Structure 1
């Protein structure tokens, strides 16, 4: 597993635990967290704008969402990432990986994450690197609660701007080339270094797979 996969896994677990922007003194953190929880309850009751049908949960394996490097371009290659299709089955991880990721895995389980993947790609002829992280939650409601706590806590407008036409809700970071999308019971985060639009292309390709999944249950 690459450092990118480990970092993405740990970053997601930390967000589950405290929220990305709640790193403040304890008293202020409590106020922010209480406010975020209130916003979360309101968010869960609010209708999703721009969609007439209720969001559907993705039930297939997250590994099926991997994008072929050739879909990004002829000069792209996939680097080692991390895929856990079932948080209760870690047989695909090495002993060292299990030891390193044990705290993150435990936190993910408590927060209702059932599958996780980090897909990373490099451009052979350039220094472009893109990464897509997928968090699959046990339900649409759990995913929306995570989204509310991490991306719509007080002051979120300083960090993200809304993006129309992607999933149920989508934001783009004001500080980096990070795009995050909520769709059904999944939260997707696409990043790129250096700046560019390849991560947006990667996000579009993954969303297409997620909303039109190949069934693994058919004979």
Structure 2
């Protein structure tokens, strides 16, 4: 194994197209050499949410360019890569396939190993890119499609302590924004309005109160 590893990462699991170059140094330290993210908010806003077909087509239109720009941003060419990593799921299947196919093409063309990355594992380990987080640590994974309380014991070693039994936190934000006609994306809009709100105005239910397992429930709030 070389003293340093430099990887191209590709992410297309939902409504953002992303490409990054990350280097792992011999001492285990990670360095982000470039990180490009293309948002699709303007394409989905007229529909009030993410449309999977539109998302996949947008990935097709932009992923190749972002890969090249990520390389240039890191000051590298193809010879500077040791491997390619891409999200392999979970996510919107059309988008995931676009990123995987692009990654496979790069790997085959340049004789590089290909690594499929679980989307949630990427969330769980991303803190170690920028912070000296040592195993084990407790993680609250809250995203558009998942809400989990995890013990991260090592790479590939995870213990789930709790999870949502209905909606994910991101889904709850999106539904609230849609009900209140706050526009898309819903999360930032709800947060802006909440800052000036009265937290005691509504007596919200406390689901799962008194239960032993630290699960979550956001449906109906």
Q: TM-score, normalised by structure 2?
A: 0.24
Greater RCO between the two (CA within 8 Å, min separation 6)? 1
Q: TM-score, normalised by structure 1?
A: 0.24
